[in-house]
């Protein structure tokens, strides 16, 4: 059934800019509702929310938006947020997903109230609610086939047709429903349906199915049940059982809200929660539906749910994205009542902002070429002080080794440079970061014509990198000592999809970016790379932010994933949009 979109401008979001420190942004429409409810003393001012994932896949950045909102609203109001698995469909759910979801929520920095909860914890009580509906004449056992139920539902233009079983007596319904539960009937022979209105303009209210027979083992209740509640019924009543005051969900549930309210009211549930819908997060250059993400995994387009190119929480973590960056991104995007697509550059921007503040700087060379310092003795070496993070004086300094033979980035030298190229070239002076000023005296090439060695002379009075006479040096290059540097594997990532809206013109897998990962085995990193533990993040100066891979990194053979490059495109995009 097609979801009805929120009216444009209806409850339009107030963006929470998240930048301007010291100014309190106005609350979004959900926070405004919660504040008004508290002011009115509703539920004694108590606020309870929940994050309700279905355990049929890994969480993605869209779920993060819901997590940040639900846990955020609870925390801001001194309330509680439950983690509740909506595990009503035994066909698609796996214990692996249950564990990954809990780990991801925890990693994002949130703690749920009490133990994890499951809709399946409430199967007995949900069953009781269903009997209440039957006793009150609000539900009946229908013996039409699934196909017949579909065919009699009608369309948006035409009303549905009432089932011949709609007017079964209460006693007969109770008896049949109990026998459904007892396993007397094969799958698909009967369903329990709400008795609402087959002519309703809202198709969700045309006697929706509440229970169906399904002989499948459940990950928690095993073979205890052969009937399972449908999502709308189970979700509304689970919220009620848990005393959820504000049930926040995405817009596609807007026209399910009358059914949500009906289930709570007609089942005579004590506690009445309120459902509020907000816009789903969409991000350019990626896909966020679990069905599509599952295809990427099962068809082998990526190495798994935690492939660093995936928009899953596990993928972002392995990519090196810090949880604070995801929280900042979600807050920045804000909560609106209108669907929109957020530019992935905004996520990358939030990642850079966080990593700039927190990542220690290191030096490494991805495409090395030899640099020989002619006036530095062969047998000598020394160590130089290098600042760990100019943004964070408390991060201190480290020592980096220097000697006669260094490696620099091949692209930092040109034999015959154009006017705007300020880096190394014959006769040109540059600064080696934290070390010396050096002037190029010559170079040589191999048989294929490729530069294989550059020669320089250093100014002995420039130790640390400052010109003794204050003369101007335009370029500062990163470098490593050839003798001391550690060979590393570096994975350079690009966007997983080559187009803004994957799947717009055909199958979304046709839009995969063939160059989304490049593996570099030539890289050489300064020796302190040996101190990294899996998951540690660094900036390689001028190259980007990197993380030691959580699976493959070893101190003696480092494996680094590039999280993002240093170039931020967000400011330009935001300016253009303005």
Q: Among the candidate windows 51-59, 115-123, 257-265, 405-413, which touches Mg ion by CB under 5 A?
A: 51-59
DSSP per residue, 338-364: S-EEE-HHHHHHHHHHHHHHHPPEE-E
How many helical (H) and strand (E) elements, i.e. helices and strands, does the chain have?
A: 13, 29
**Rounded to the nearest 5°, which phi and psi values hold at 517?**
-140, 130
Q: Among the candidate windows 48-56, 250-258, 267-275, 335-343, which touches Mg ion by CB under 5 A?
A: 48-56
Least separation in angstroms between residue 291's CB and Mg ion is 10
Least separation in angstroms between residue 450's CB and ligand ATP is 48
Residue nearest ligand ATP, Cβ-based: 62
Least separation in angstroms between residue 182's CB and Mg ion is 30
Near ligand ATP by CB under 6 A: residue from 152, 221, 250, 569: 250
Distance, in Å, from the CA atom of 403 to the CA atom of 397, rounded to the nearest integer, reads 19
By CB under 5 A, the count of residues binding Mg ion is 1
Residue nearest Mg ion, Cβ-based: 54
Distance, in Å, from the CA atom of 191 to the CA atom of 130, rounded to the nearest integer, reads 12
Binding to ligand ATP by CB under 6 A, coded x per residue (else -) over 47-76, reads -----xxx-------xx-xx----------
How many Cβ atoms are within 10 Å of 251's Cβ, its own excluded? 18
* The entry of Mg ion, ligand ATP, none that residue 53 binds, CB within 5 to 8 Å by partner kind: ligand ATP
Nearer to ligand ATP, 166 or 280 (CB): 280
By CB under 6 A, the count of residues binding ligand ATP is 14
Residue with tokens 């109770």: 174
334 counts as binding ligand ATP under rule CB under 6 A: no
Distance, in Å, from the CA atom of 19 to the CA atom of 321, rounded to the nearest integer, reads 19
Question: Which 287-326 residues touch ligand ATP, going by CB under 6 A?
Answer: 288-290
Nearer to ligand ATP, 86 or 549 (CB): 86
Question: Which 257-286 residues touch ligand ATP, going by CB under 6 A?
Answer: 280-281
Q: Where are the beta strands (DSSP E) in 336-432?
A: 340-342, 361-362, 364-365, 368-373, 381-387, 397-403, 405-409, 429-432
Q: Which residues are catalytic?
A: 54, 280, 290
206 counts as binding ligand ATP under rule CB under 6 A: no
DSSP-based three-state secondary structure for 188: coil
Distance, in Å, from the CA atom of 401 to the CA atom of 435, rounded to the nearest integer, reads 10
* The entry of ligand ATP, Mg ion, none that residue 79 binds, CB within 5 to 8 Å by partner kind: none
Nearer to Mg ion, 54 or 239 (CB): 54
Residue 33, Ramachandran bin (φ over 0: left; ψ between -120 and 50: alpha; else beta): alpha
Nearer to Mg ion, 55 or 72 (CB): 55
Q: How far from 157 is each of 64, 79, 149, 153, 196, CA to CA, in Å? A: 38, 44, 17, 11, 18
Binding residues (CB under 6 A) for ligand ATP: these are 52-54, 62-63, 65-66, 249-250, 280-281, 288-290
């Amino acid at each position: 059934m097609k979801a009805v979109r929120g009216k444009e401008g209806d409850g339009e979001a107030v963006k929470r800019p998240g930048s301007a420190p010291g100014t309190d942004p106005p609350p979004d429409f959900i926070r405004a509702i919660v504040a008004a409810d508290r002011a009115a003393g509703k539920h004694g001012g108590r606020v309870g929310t929940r994050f309700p994932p279905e355990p049929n896949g890994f969480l993605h950045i869209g779920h993060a938006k819901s997590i940040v909102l639900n846990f955020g609203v609870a925390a801001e109001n001194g309330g509680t947020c439950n983690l509740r698995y909506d595990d009503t469909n035994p066909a698609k759910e796996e214990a692996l997903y249950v564990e990954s979801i809990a780990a991801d929520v925890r990693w994002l920095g949130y703690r749920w109230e009490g133990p994890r909860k499951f809709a399946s914890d409430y199967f007995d009580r949900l069953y009781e609610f269903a009997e209440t509906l039957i006793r009150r004449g609000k539900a009946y056992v229908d013996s039409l086939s699934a196909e017949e139920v579909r065919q009699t539902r009608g369309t948006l233009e035409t009303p549905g047709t009432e089932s011949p079983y709609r007017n079964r007596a209460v006693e007969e319904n109770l008896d049949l429903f109990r026998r459904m539960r007892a396993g007397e009937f094969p799958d698909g022979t009967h369903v329990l349906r709400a008795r609402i209105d087959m002519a309703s303009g809202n198709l969700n209210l045309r006697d929706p199915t509440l229970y169906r027979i399904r002989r499948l083992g459940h990950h928690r209740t095993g073979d205890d049940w052969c009937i399972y509640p449908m999502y709308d019924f189970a979700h509304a009543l689970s919220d009620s059982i848990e005393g959820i005051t504000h049930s926040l969900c995405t817009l596609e549930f807007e026209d399910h809200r009358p059914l949500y309210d009906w289930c709570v009211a007609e089942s005579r549930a004590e506690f009445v929660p309120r459902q509020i819908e907000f816009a789903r997060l969409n991000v350019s250059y990626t896909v966020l539906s679990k069905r599509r993400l599952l295809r990427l995994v099962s068809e082998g387009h990526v190495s798994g749910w935690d492939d660093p190119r995936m928009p899953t929480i596990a993928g972002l973590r392995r990519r090196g994205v810090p949880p604070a960056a995801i929280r900042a991104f979600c807050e920045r995007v804000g909560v609106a009542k209108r669907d929109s697509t957020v530019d992935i550059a905004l996520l990358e921007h939030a990642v850079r902002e966080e990593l700039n503040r927190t990542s220690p700087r290191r030096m490494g060379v991805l495409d090395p070429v030899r640099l020989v310092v002619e006036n530095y003795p062969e047998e000598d070496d020394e160590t130089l002080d290098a600042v760990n993070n100019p943004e964070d004086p408390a991060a201190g300094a480290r020592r980096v080794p220097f000697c006669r033979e260094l490696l620099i980035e091949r692209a930092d030298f040109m034999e015959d440079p154009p006017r705007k190229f300020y880096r190394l070239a014959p006769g040109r002076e540059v600064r080696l970061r934290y070390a010396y000023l050096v002037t190029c005296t010559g170079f040589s090439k191999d048989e294929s014509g490729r530069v294989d060695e550059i020669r320089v002379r250093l100014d002995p009075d420039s130790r640390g990198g400052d010109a003794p006479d204050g003369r101007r040096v335009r370029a500062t290059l990163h470098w490593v000592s050839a003798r001391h540097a550690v060979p590393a594997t570096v994975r350079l990532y690009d966007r997983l999809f080559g187009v803004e809206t994957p799947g717009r013109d055909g199958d979304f897998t046709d839009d995969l970016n063939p160059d989304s990962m490049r593996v570099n085995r030539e890289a050489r990193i300064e020796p302190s790379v040996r101190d990294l533990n899996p998951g540690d993040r660094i900036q390689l100066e001028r190259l980007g932010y990197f993380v030691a891979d959580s699976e493959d990194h070893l101190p003696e053979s480092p494996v680094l994933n590039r999280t993002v490059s240093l170039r931020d495109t967000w400011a330009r995009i935001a300016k253009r949009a303005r």
